[in-house]
Amino acid sequence: MEKIKVKICQGTTCFVMGGEVIKSIHDTLVEKYADKIEIVPVRCLEVCHDADSFSQAPYVYVNDEVVSAATVDKVISVIESKLKNE
Amino acid sequence: MNNTPELETRRLKREVLVRIIKAFMSDNYAENVRLIPYDMRPKGSEVPFRCCVYKERAVLRSRTIAGLGFAMEDDDERTLLSDFAQQALTRQVPEPEPLTVLQNACKGCPSAQVFVTELCQNCVAKPCMKACNFGAISNNGKRSIIDQDKCKKCGMCMNACPYHAIVKTIVPCEEACPVGAIAKGEDGLAHIDKDKCISCGKCVSACPFGAPHAKSQVIDVLSKIKQGKEVIAMFAPALVGHLPCTPEQFIDAFKKIGFSDVYEVAQGADTTIQVEAHDLQERLEQGAPFMTTSCCAAYNELVKKHIPEIKPYVSDAHTPLYYTAEIVKKEHPNAETVFISPCFAKRKEALDNPNVNNVLNFEELGAIFIAYGIEVDTCEEKEYAFKSSKEARDFPLSGGVARSVQAAWKGNPEDLKPTIINGLTKATVRDLKVYAKTGKCQLGNLIEVMCCEGGCIAGNAGLNTVKMALKKVTDYSSKSYSLKEDK
């Protein structure tokens, strides 16, 4: 089974809008899904740069699905649905 | 970042700030500020938090007024946001009080009370009644009942109940405030008593409705930059833990905003350390029982407003900000200085220091980076002209100031006994009062006082978790020379 790729944005906007959450998303995922996912810290992917989209930061990508205003629960539910579909 | 209830209120505040700054950068500043509540909650939008879209907009209007740097207490509710935006441009001196309460964001929480829940088993022993020293508890044959007029909220019955059936509800802001400065008024809403407030910002972090709010100085600072003035940033050493880049990238990042130069406040901390170590040694030689540190702005306000009797025991050393600003003004006499702060209390300190013109906190700085589209981790790395010591860069950590005095200590090492107050609470404020009154402190002779639990890296306007900030600050400081090696 191919590992799910979780990209956590390390850009400035995501950090300012949710630096506190980014860390807990990272830690929770490592603990919960160690062997099923691969966590990749990425630089700003620039979705936050148009118009008002900054307000929906922090962004996390689960494979190619964008999770906006990411929280631990939101990211977990997307990962769970991907795991179920495999 | 103490007691962070929800990130939601922080995100709202940050979003409003970014929109204010974006409006400032646009060709139509005042009108775009007026539109902020409508842009955030347009016609037909969802109503995520309040009862209706109109209430949402009303609260966002209040957040915008505070973001423009005004006190909500002065709002007549009929002045347009565009007028506030214009007034912010002409403000010469920042508002004297750093904090304000958004009355329409305040829930008017139920008063704190202790009450017996339905889980009361109506037991035979009735330890709750025995525990109560005020005769406030009776029994109606089915369960115990508390007479709220007699109850002193001491909580003895709660501790006595074998079922944990007695609970105490709290008002989060009142509970968080170490000095009883914020309380529900007759209107049921929270009010800050400015004669008691030490501007620590614990209420800002504690309120899950985001009602207590900082008055921002972003417009004041950005206006000065726009007018082409020489504006210099002096950043608190805690900032190292609160941006997603290296400290060497700060210079370039600040210059992209338009600051002309950047100083580490750790530079001033190196002076504070030497003065403080010398001060303590002199005092102990003269028979003083103890000395407290003097770098925390909220503690200094506490001394002024609540414990004047401890003043003789407070070190005469000035804060790292004081010495840094002095150096900057000497090197750049015409410059406007801006302190970049993890907390709100430093705004008070800045008001009393003509060398510090404005204060931006980390949230406000972050909002500027977002609005300007500056990716800090792509900025160029540059060296600081002044190399600060490891101890100076560790100043924002709980225990860091005490360790720095130890490192610079020239007397007999056994004479120095540091003790730490890691966070001001109602209980630690009481301890300090006792030390002052009795002139004794059993725990040590150097009392390091930091208002925020964890130190300035846990300041109430921080962006990162305390744990991560701690790691980044110590990673950076460990690359510096130590004052111990210097001896």
DSSP letter string, B372-436: HT--GGGSPP---SS---HHHHTTTSTTHHHHHHHHH--S-GGG--EEEEES--HHHHHHHHHHH
Q: Does the pLDDT at position B5 exceed 90?
A: no
Interface of B with A in 148-207 (CB under 8 A): none
**Is pLDDT above 70 for A71?**
yes
Residue B486 has what pLDDT? Answer: 54
For chain B, where do the domains classified as CATH 3.30.70.20 start and end? 113-169
Nearest Cα of chain B lies from the Cα of A3 at a distance, in angstroms, of 27
Domains of chain A in sequence order: 4-85 (3.40.30.10)
- Closest-CA residue of B relative to A9 is B244
The reply to whether residue B464 touches residue A23, judged by beta carbons under 8 angstroms, is yes
Q: Give the model confidence (pLDDT) of B200-230 as tens digits.
A: 999 999 999 999 999 999 999 999 999 999 9
**Position A1 pLDDT exceeds 80:** no
pLDDT tens per residue, range B440-486: 999 999 999 999 999 999 999 999 999 999 999 999 999 999 998 75
ipTM: 0.91
Query: Taking CB atoms and an 8 Å limit, are A20 and B377 in contact across chains?
Result: no
Topology classification of domain B226-486: Fe-only Hydrogenase (Larger Subunit); Chain L, domain 3 (3.40.950)
Q: Where is A85: in which H helix or E strand?
A: helix A72-85
Asked if A17 lies within 8 A of B242 by C-beta distance, the reply is no
Please state, rounded to an integer, the average pLDDT across all residues of chain B. 95
Q: How many Å lie between the alpha carbon of A63 and the closest alpha carbon of chain B?
A: 23
Cα four-point dihedral sign B158, B162, B166, B169: positive
Q: How confident is the model at residue B182 (pLDDT cuts 50, 70, 90)?
A: very high
Least confident of A32-41, B3-12, B82-91: B3-12
Tell me the pLDDT band of A26, cut-offs 50, 70 and 90.
Answer: confident
Q: Kindly report the nearest CA distance between residue A29 and chain B, in angstroms.
A: 17
Give the nearest chain A residue to B372 (CA atoms).
A49
- Facing B376 at nearest CB: one of A12, A21, A71: A12
For chains A and B, CB pairs below 8 A equal 70
Residues of A in contact with B40 (CB under 8 A): 55
Residue B437 in tokens: 């009154």
The Cα–Cα gap between B169 and B226 comes to 49
pLDDT in tens, B317-344: 999 999 999 999 999 999 999 999 999 9
Whether pLDDT at B63 is above 70? yes
| pLDDT band for position B6 (cuts 50, 70, 90) | low
Q: Dihedral through CA B198, CA B202, CA B204, CA B207, nearest 10? A: -130
Task: Provide the chain B residues 336-365 that lie in CB contact (below 8 A) with chain A.
Answer: 363
pLDDT surpassing 70 at residue A83: yes
| pLDDT (0 to 100) of residue A2 | 80
Q: Report chain A residues touching chain B, CB-CB < 8 A.
A: 10-13, 15-21, 23-24, 43-44, 48-49, 52, 54-55, 69, 71
For position B16, what pLDDT does the model report? Answer: 97
| Residue B437 touches partner A, C-beta closer than 8 Å | no
The residue written with tokens 């001033």 in the block is: B268
For B15, the closest of A24, A55, A71 (CB atoms) is A55
Closest C-alpha among A40, A27, A42, A39 to residue A72: A27
Indicate the pLDDT class of residue B3, thresholds 50, 70 and 90.
very low
What is the CATH number assigned to the segment(s) B113-169? 3.30.70.20
Q: Which of B44-48, B220-224, B361-365 is predicted with the least confidence, judged by mean pLDDT?
A: B44-48
- Tell me which chain A residues have a C-beta less than 8 angstroms from the C-beta of B363: 16
